[in-house]
Amino acid sequence: MPFWNEKRVQEFVSGLGKGVQGATLEEFLGFLAGLLLVIFLIVWLQRRSDHAKQKSSRERSRALFEGELEERTLPPSAIRLMEDLAHAMEQANRAFEIHRLFRDPSLFDRFAGLLIEEDAELRRPLRLLKPILGLGHGFSGISQSTEELNPGERLSVRPAESIAMEFRVLSNDVQSLRVFSEDQTPVLFKNGMPVEVTWESRGVLHICQSRIMKIESERASASHSTDLTPAGESANPSEAEQANSGRVADGRFTILQLQHSEEIQRQHRRGFVRCASDLPAILAGHSILITNIGGGGFATERLPGIPESYVQKETALPCRIQMGKVWIECSVRFIQSSEVGFHFAFERIRPGDQDRIIHFALSNLSRESN
């Protein structure tokens, strides 16, 4: 029988009531004051304990953060970016986990997005910093932009109802993307003309719509110098006319200044390395087993009771793939069925997670070959 049974509780309550009824006003007020004092003391001690714990957590996180900075020997510009990210976390009352910026891609992406909202110039350095920390490429939750193209990268520019022309990135800043080409294809560009820009990165074709802000032209010297020669200085009117129209002429570069775009379509190309696997996954709430996987998608064993909605190409399905202790969140689209099972392509997946899958496939194939 417990010590505080029903009878004892009733006796305690009735005795307390008799004591209150027989007490004077001063005694009753003194009792209440003492009770309030005890409650206040308990609350104060609890808040003091919580404050001490939070301070200890902040100091521990800061120490780990400083240790990571020293261990990684980052350049001063990268250290300033990390300090800015840490400050943003402190402003959001998350100072106790700033050390996770070196380990958690989603945390990095979230506060990188806040910094980019305040200063768009930080998009490029933050994008370059992320793979240096080993957190993958690109930002989840942040629209991909042509601002992320690096000088020297190849791309194609195609006016409406015309053929594409190959370019390389000359420079890139917040205002515009400047590209140049020595291609002698007779393509006519005009200021304000809408164009389609495409490029390939890590096996994924990127497509966006842009607009020509300005057309420049320069004469190609023997050393392929990139110093601009203004079109107005041309002694030959026909040459000036060609430069202003953007038509490629013998011995000239075509340089276009393009408007940035953040509406990027991504199309996965076939040709990703694939490998056999036995990865558990959850597809639209149903447990499945992935028998083959690569950077572009995966195959599953045949499921007799699979709903008909799964095998409709216009339907994107949420999917969670378990790779060791990590769960990869993505969405997939049905491609085709075969005798061995169903095949799905990734519709949306974080670049860092796609890199993890590609590394998994390459590692498995390397082990099999050995």
Residues 248 and 316: their CA atoms lie apart, in Å, by 43
Query: For residue 227, what pLDDT is reported?
Result: 40
Domain membership of residue 247 (yes or no) is yes
pLDDT band at 249 (very low <50, low <70, confident <90, very high): very low
Query: For residue 335, what pLDDT is reported?
Result: 78
Spell 79-89 as b/e; 16+ CB within 10 A means b. Answer: eebbebbbebb
Q: Residue 276's beta-bridge partner residues?
A: 292
Question: Among 89, 111, 142, where does a domain finish?
Answer: 142
Kindly report the CATH number assigned to the domain that includes residue 182: 2.30.110
pLDDT tens track for 56-83: 888 888 888 888 888 888 888 889 999 9
- The torsion angles phi and psi of 292, rounded to 5 degrees, stand at -155, 135
Identify whether residues 109 and 183 lie together within a single domain: no
Examine the pLDDT at 345 and tell me if it is beyond 70. Answer: yes
pLDDT tens track for 163-201: 778 899 998 877 789 998 876 666 678 888 999 888 876
Domain limits for position 130: 29-142
Residues 204 and 295: their CA atoms lie apart, in Å, by 9
Q: Which of 57-61, 241-245, 272-276 has the highest mean pLDDT?
A: 57-61
Query: For residue 303, what pLDDT is reported?
Result: 67
Identify whether residues 295 and 222 lie together within a single domain: no
Task: Please state, in angstroms and as integers, the Cα–Cα distance from residue 289 to each residue in 270, 271, 293, following that order.
Answer: 22, 22, 11
Q: Please indicate whether residue 183 or residue 112 has the higher confidence score (pLDDT).
A: 112
Identify whether residues 106 and 167 lie together within a single domain: no
Identify whether residues 165 and 189 lie together within a single domain: yes
A 10 A CB-CB count for 160 gives 9
Q: Residue 300's beta-bridge partner residues?
A: 290, 342
Identify whether residues 243 and 334 lie together within a single domain: no
Domain membership of residue 2 (yes or no) is no
pTM above 0.75, yes or no: no
Domain membership of residue 329 (yes or no) is yes
| 3-class secondary structure, 214 | strand
Domain membership of residue 205 (yes or no) is yes
Kindly report the CATH number assigned to the domain that includes residue 279: 2.40.10.220
Domain membership of residue 219 (yes or no) is yes
Identify whether residues 252 and 276 lie together within a single domain: no
pLDDT (average), residues 192-212 = 81
Task: Please state, in angstroms and as integers, the Cα–Cα distance from residue 299 to each residue in 43, 181, 202, 359, following that order.
Answer: 57, 41, 21, 18
Asked whether the beta carbons of 282 and 329 are under 8 A apart, the reply is no
Query: For residue 245, what pLDDT is reported?
Result: 45
pLDDT band at 55 (very low <50, low <70, confident <90, very high): confident
Spell 91-127 as b/e; 16+ CB within 10 A means b. Answer: eeebbbbbbbbbeebebbbbbbbebbeeeeebbbebb
Domain membership of residue 15 (yes or no) is no
Examine the pLDDT at 125 and tell me if it is beyond 60. Answer: yes
* Close Cβ partners of 282 (under 8 Å, ≥ 6 residues apart): 288, 319, 320
Q: How many domains does the chain have?
A: 3
pLDDT band at 44 (very low <50, low <70, confident <90, very high): confident
Structure token pair of residue 137:
């490429």
Domain membership of residue 327 (yes or no) is yes
pLDDT tens track for 281-313: 998 888 889 988 988 889 888 765 566 566 665
pLDDT (average), residues 226-241 = 39
